[in-house]
Amino acid sequence: MSDTNLSPEEAAIIAAEKAAADEAPGDVVAPGAGAKLEEDASTLTPAPATNSAASAAAAVAAVVEDFGEEDPDGDLEPLLEALSMESRLRRQEAARRLSLFAEHRKDDLKKSVDVLVDAMDRPEEQTRWQILNTLMVVGADDPELVSGAFEAAENALFEEGARAAFSRLAAFRYFVMLGKSSPERSDEVWPLLDEAAQVYHGLPEYREMLVALADFAGGSISESSRKAVADRVRFDAQGRTGGFLKSYSQRVLSVAEGEA
């Protein structure tokens, strides 16, 4: 996913995540030192950079030397292998590039789903959400192919703190993709989506969660899940409060009740 394809909400979330990230020795200092994310009228203060400009430049140079220029038609094996490297920077860069190339190399990456799922166990959030994005592209036509990431995605869905917001959003979308594929899967993932909708109600990522929820409501889900979706958003859709919360909730409700 390139920065140019991010929604304003996603851009704010990733800026906050980068600003708050704890830098590991030898890793590049995350950009966006002045980024701010409004959340219940509070302001996130970026963590101070812990690496010198020289070490950051050296780390970036090492990544370029490892992987070369970004080439969607290049060999994916070095990127897949890098997901298990000790350097967090290399893991993050590999995950980023795989996410960028996923649509173009979907068939190739289908052969390496196990490697991608394994990478969901890495400690840094950026690697995890980039891998989730890749898995969603790879499994778009066959969600069961990437169902092995279920447990790791559940952990990501309920990570705490502003820096985990992008992982939560990616995990929510993953469960939407998986759940809308069949009535049985919808009943399995709905409790997770329902809990997330309650926990993150009103937070920056919630707008995008509502967009994904409308997609879920229009999928091959069970009638019980469809009714539950409608009941979850009905209060906001019919309430007096305006803004995105009402308009997006109305969209979800319309889809769930077959009016859209």
What domains appear along the chain, each with residue ranges and CATH number?
3-256 (1.25.10.10)
What is the rounded CA–CA span in Å between residue 83 and residue 119?
A: 6
Residue 241: predicted pLDDT: 76
What is the rounded CA–CA span in Å between residue 204 and residue 155?
A: 20
Using DSSP, state whether 224 is helix, strand or coil.
Answer: helix
Using DSSP, state whether 253 is helix, strand or coil.
Answer: helix
215: nearest Cα among 177, 165, 188, 249? 177
What confidence tens digit (pLDDT) does each residue in 162-177 have? 779 999 999 999 999 9
Whole-model pTM: value is 0.78
Residue 16: predicted pLDDT: 43
Residue 56: predicted pLDDT: 63
Over 80: is that where the pLDDT of 91 sits? yes
What is the rounded CA–CA span in Å between residue 74 and residue 96?
A: 15
Amino acid at 118: D
pLDDT (mean) for 175-190:
98
What is the rounded CA–CA span in Å between residue 169 and residue 91?
A: 20
Between 144 and 51, the more confident residue is 144
Residue 230: predicted pLDDT: 98
Per-residue pLDDT band at 49 (split at 50, 70, 90): very low
Over 80: is that where the pLDDT of 21 sits? no
Distance of CA 81 to the CA centre of its chain: 22
153: nearest Cα among 214, 139, 47? 139
